[in-house]
Structure 1
């Protein structure tokens, strides 16, 4: 695993960047919210594979 060379957390940088976006109007706010929901949904789809549940981790 590679080490983070700076003391800044990349996940926190992304959260701050997302929070800095100010929606221009209701339509833009809805688009930003849908983008967040789509990313969460895709993440859930990527992690719902149950094929390795019978395999014990050591």
Structure 2
């Protein structure tokens, strides 16, 4: 298939290529997010059930 330049200057395959690259980047980002280990918050505290809280 040869390159066909449209009058507006864009080839439809350029948009397809851009969409494929975007999908690949999204898949990589989601994969990195899902495999990342959760970080512990150092500022969090544990409230014991025997403690009472007064407002």
Structure of greater Rg: 2
Task: Please tell me the TM-score bracket, short chain as reference.
Answer: 0.3 to 0.5
The two structures have a TM-score, normalised by structure 1, of: 0.45
Question: If each structure's helix is expressed as a fraction of its own residues, which one has the higher value?
Answer: 1
The two structures have a TM-score, normalised by structure 2, of: 0.46
